[in-house]
Amino acid sequence: MIAKDILYVGVNDHDIDLFEGQYQVPNGMAYNSYLIVDDCAAVMDSVDQRFAGQWLDQIGSALGERTPDYLVVQHMEPDHSSSILDFMQRYPQTKIVATAKAFAMMNQFFGRDFADQRLVVGEGDTLSLGRHTLTFYTAPMVHWPEVMVSYDSADGVLFSADAFGKFGALDVEEDWACEARRYYIGIVGKYGPAVQTLLKKAAGLDIRTICPLHGPVLQENLGYYLNLYNVWSSYVPEEEGVVIAYTSVYGNTKQAAELLARELEQKGCAKVVLNDLARCDMAEAVEDAFRYSKLVLATTTYNGEIFPFMREFIHHLTERNYSNRTVALMENGSWAPTAARVMRGMLEKSKNLTFAPTTVRILSALNEESRSQISQLACELCS
């Protein structure tokens, strides 16, 4: 039980290997749904269709002979909406509460817009369930255009849709921030301004519990979670540190990256993170780049451009509005090094990037000159 009259009826998924077809989730995923039992009963969101039977059985067990009066749909992504048809087949008299854009998406997904069962709501609309009254706030592009969140004034509960979610099933204990950060940056990160707008709306509410669609219910130290969301959506560094992201064909660029890491540590840099982009989890590397204040990109010239994994990495950064950081460049080439120029060009639309004065140039393998450049770069990054 989350609060008086509010129950959890979500499910854990340990069958999934890639969330949204790209994010590794070794600890599974939770699809959260909640039930408010009052004079009227309201189900808050559905779950992935693969778990529809389990979800509906949990609702039935909680309600007994009662029929839900409302199904509130805050977000139409299929991991939260694909059981709507199953729900309506079991409870055909239930009213669906959602935004106009959500009903349009239902028609796209299901070929039905539930004209006879729908209750369209928008910014500031309310729904009385008895002791509980839900107020709806639109949250477009957090991270789909139809999204809304719901606030229960009786118990101070914010049903936050995908905001404040994380990877991982609820029957596995793990640090919240690490997987919430990776989830946020990968899935919501492009839409920081929209998150800022939602945070401003939330600031005027007496929130005592946050119920997201993924991850645990948050009931203690809410300022910690709200502050992290403010930091992440403002695109400012969360911590001081240097991330070195590199690709290497024959090991020479790797040697240069490792040499820089050692020099940074010797000079007392508080945190140094080294990522081999061909072998690490790309989403983890992107998370590191957004978490820390400085980033070193080290790669080979490849087909007159840059190595594919580095191109992919920079694309992940720029499409998520990477900004407000210090960036340093290291390039390797045997006859016509162009990597630094290409990487700088890819970052030219990013805002408030400061480039380190020294660009390290390696001609095939480290020599006295390139080692000296690495030492100089280490001094610049630690200053």
| Chain segment 73-98, per-residue pLDDT in tens | 999 999 999 999 999 999 999 999 99
For domain 240-382, the CATH superfamily is: Flavodoxin domain (3.40.50.360)
pLDDT, residue 304, reads: 87
Q: What angle do CA 124, 130, 134 make, to 5 degrees?
A: 20
> What is the rounded CA–CA span in Å between residue 32 and residue 44?
9
Can you tell me whether residue 268 is helix, strand or coil?
A: coil
So what's the pLDDT on residue 382? 92
Per the rule left: phi > 0, alpha: psi between -120 and 50, beta: everything else, 69 is alpha
Per-residue confidence band for 270, with pLDDT thresholds at 50, 70 and 90: confident
More confident residue, 118 or 113: 118
pLDDT band at 126 (very low <50, low <70, confident <90, very high): very high
In the chain, the percentage of residues whose pLDDT exceeds 70 is 100
DSSP 106-145: HHHHHS---TTTEEE--TT-EEE-SS-EEEEEE-TTSSST
Q: How far is CA 276 from CA 186, 255, 279, in A?
A: 19, 11, 6
Closest CA to 274 of 292, 300, 301: 292
pLDDT number for residue 92: 96
The model's pLDDT over 151-191, given as tens digits with 9 standing for 90+, comes to: 999 999 999 999 999 999 999 999 999 999 999 999 999 99
24-47 as b/e, with b when 16 or more CB fall inside 10 Å? ebebbbbbbbbbbbbebbbbbbbb
CB contact at 8 A, 67 and 96: no
Measured CA to CA, the distance from residue 57 to residue 113 in angstroms comes to 25
pLDDT digits (tens, 9 = 90+) for 155-166: 999 999 999 999
Task: Convert the pLDDT of each residue in 282-326 to its tens digit.
Answer: 999 999 999 999 999 999 999 989 999 999 999 999 999 999 999
User: What's the CATH architecture for 6-234?
Assistant: 4-Layer Sandwich (3.60)
CATH topology agreement for domains 6-234 and 240-382? no
Q: Alpha-carbon distance 100 to 77, whole Å?
A: 15
- In the chain, where the domains are located: 6-234, 240-382
Peptide bond preceding 214: is omega within 30 degrees of 0, i.e. cis?
no
Token code pair at residue 255: 């040697």
Question: What digits encode the pLDDT tens for the residues 24-54?
Answer: 999 999 999 999 999 999 999 999 999 999 9
The whole-model pTM stands at 0.93
Residues 159, 168: Cα–Cα separation, whole Å: 19
pLDDT band at residue 266 under the 50/70/90 scheme: very high
pLDDT of residue 1: 75
The pLDDT of residue 95 = 98
